[in-house]
Amino acid sequence: EPAVQDTPVMQRADLILVNGRIATLNPRSPAASALAIRGGNIVAVGSAAEIERLRGPDTQVIDAGARVRVVEVRGATALVWKE
């Protein structure tokens, strides 16, 4: 995995959500704990370690504290709610 410094600026996330409960609707990988958003779109979903490589100096990071659930639907707005 490349270090944060090796990630081109245009590929860095605007926002990273960690410690969430994410249903990906992908049978090969049905759940994740982190996601990255750039330009208002979900650009990556995975573990916190996988998503961390997209973090830049201006990336906002939100720790959901396992209180937020997200359903990732390609081509549509993500649904987010608190329990």
DSSP 78: P
pLDDT of residue 18: 93
| Structure-model confidence comparison of residues 74 and 4, the more confident one | 74
Q: Which two tokens stand for residue 76?
A: 């549509």
- If you compute the radius of gyration of the chain from its CA atoms, what whole number of angstroms results? 12
pTM score: 0.73
Name the phi and psi angles at 48, rounded to 5: -60, -40
pLDDT one-digit tens code per residue, 22-64: 887 778 888 889 989 999 888 888 999 999 999 999 999 999 8
